[in-house]
Amino acid sequence: MTGQPSFLAELKRRNVLRAGVLYAGAVWALAQGIAQLGPSVGAPDWATRWFLVAAAIGFPFWLAFAWFYEFTPSGLKRESEIDPADSIAHATGRKLNYWIFGVMAVAIVLLLTDRLVSLRDGNPTTSAAASPTSIAPTPTALPHSIAVLAFDDLSPAHDQKNFSEGMAEEILNALTRVKALTVIGRSSSFQFQGTDVSPQQIGTRLGVAHVLEGSVRKQGEQLRITVALVQTSDGVQRWSKSYDGSLADVFKLQEACARDIAAQMNVVLGDHGKQQLVQHSTDNPDAYALFVEAQTLVNARVGDNLPRAIGKLEQATALDPDFARAWSKLAVAYAVLPQYVSGDWKTSWKASDRAAERALALDPDDAEAYAALSYNQFSQRHYNAMVEPMQRALTLDPGDSTVNYWAANELSAMGRTRDAEARIDTALTHDPANVPLLFYKSMLRWRSGDKAAALAFAQRDGVAGSAFGAMMLSFYEAADGDMQASAREFAKSESQMGSKIPPTELEVIYRGSYGNTARHQAALNIVNAYAHDDWAPTMLLQIGESARSFDLYEHGGSGLSDAYLNWLWQPEAWSRHARRSPAFQGFARRIGLLAYWKANQWPDLCKAAPESGPDAFTCR
């Protein structure tokens, strides 16, 4: 039977199928080569992705070429111009088979090499779950564990929200003194305020067996605190009680409440039950009420919360000049004030140091006051001087989330990524949903090359949508090739962090980090116009102007040591360029980084180079 050959037979005769297999194998091998060798030559992370996109676009053109053309002893000719008797397609097919086998062998060798290197380094790249330290598993509920939720305000005028939240924090602080109890930190517990998340869901997320719900009714000097202990296994309330008294009785009410909670959880108090759980920190009830409200405002940070908190704390210390806790909280408020509100760094440092020193004169064991002193030294670039007060703070209260966060902040800025992450992990055991802690965990995972874990932490509840989450998403989306989304996230983050540069111009600056010469110049012009902005030195780093950045930061008055110095240890090309720049050597010496490294520990990415001089070092 005669007739036209089938379409499939014609594809085989013209070697189109073999050409397709060869193309796919070659693309696979080249993509693996780019992915493995790209970081060594500074290629961006999205290079592999766009190579595959380009290869996919070219595939149908390759097949069309194989259909219409044939290689002959006389060169390349259209298939229609060749007499079937003169065709050497069969011999060409055998040669293509050899090429296919060779390309596939190369691809398989590259694949096996990548897997073996990943296993050797203990850093599998197939998924976030492959790295045991990447993403913390859901905590298992311990029997003697509790999360204290923010208390509701049931006052007649409903104007005691901050006081009610502060009262819940005071009960939480009292329970932390019960050694047999595991108490989740404030940030993690209070995140559920105003939500409809059930006790069972809270228990699963935080790994606790109980939650404490409560309310406060304050009318004049009269006070009622009502609490309820709920099991997270089934959501059943197992105990509830109200405590009535005047504001002058507040410490007695808190002590009775904390003891009853411990008893209901079958926890034995230390020192045969004589252990005091509530610190009687002032005899002035009005000063204490102001302190409790201010505590909530300091934790909130943004907007006008810090100025309001400072006002209340100054009133509290005026009413009771010996109120140590109010002084230490005032030190914290002043230490971070210029980051969130326009203000003079030098004025804030002086006020913070004065308040911290007063707190320590009254209570030498105040960990928060030592942490504030350390943070002020850090902000003022006195890097060696920050070490001793932070060590004192960690010794006095090793589990405090704020102390561990600030300690990690300092270590991370000094380039000690591994030590910083260990501090963050310690803090997360007590406060697993704390947004700043999760942000730092995300950033440190990013630095370590664990991009899946970095994204997972950035997308956790509370982090996603925040300035912290936007910052991490800008890194991730840039690496993934989505520059438009990355620029939006960058502008959102910088605006929420206090930059005065308009969002549209922030996007232009970001595109200048990755664009051509024209985009780079446009970005540089904007940054130069806003050189007074605290974030300008950081943005200069991102657009590759490291020498100009070092000069602006060194001679500027910004206290954003953490925001700036952390950018020196990123995996992006602009960060590598900055720390490898010859100008970095002198900059590190002049601002005190080198003295810190010599006295304490070198950054993970740098080491001394004594063969080049006593102050020389190299960074990778």
- For the stretch 140-151, pLDDT in tens is 678 899 999 999
* Residue 196 CB neighbours (<10 A): 6
DSSP for 423-437, please give it.
Answer: HHHHHHHH-TT-HHH
Domains and CATH numbers, the chain: 7-121 (no CATH), 142-280 (3.40.50.10610), 526-620 (no CATH)
Altogether, the residues listed in the chain come to a count of 620
- Rounded (10°) CA dihedral 410, 412, 417, 423: 50
Q: What is the pTM of this model?
A: 0.73
Mean pLDDT of the chain: 85
What mean pLDDT is predicted for residues 282-290?
Answer: 94
Most confidently modeled range among 92-106, 133-147, 421-435, 584-598: 584-598
Q: How far is CA 168 from CA 171, 189, 227, 436, in A?
A: 5, 10, 10, 21
State the pLDDT at residue 48: 72
**pLDDT (tens digit, 9 = 90+) per residue, 324-355?**
999 999 999 999 998 888 778 999 999 999 99
Crossing angle of helices 546-555/582-591, nearest 10°? 10
CB 249 within 8 A of CB 285: no
C-beta separation of 595 from 382 below 8 A: no
pLDDT at 400 over 90: no
pLDDT digits (tens, 9 = 90+) for 552-609: 999 988 888 888 999 999 999 999 999 999 999 999 999 999 999 999 999 999 999 9
pLDDT of residue 132: 34
**Pairing relation of β-strands 182-183 and 142-148?**
parallel
Is the pLDDT score of 618 beyond 90? yes
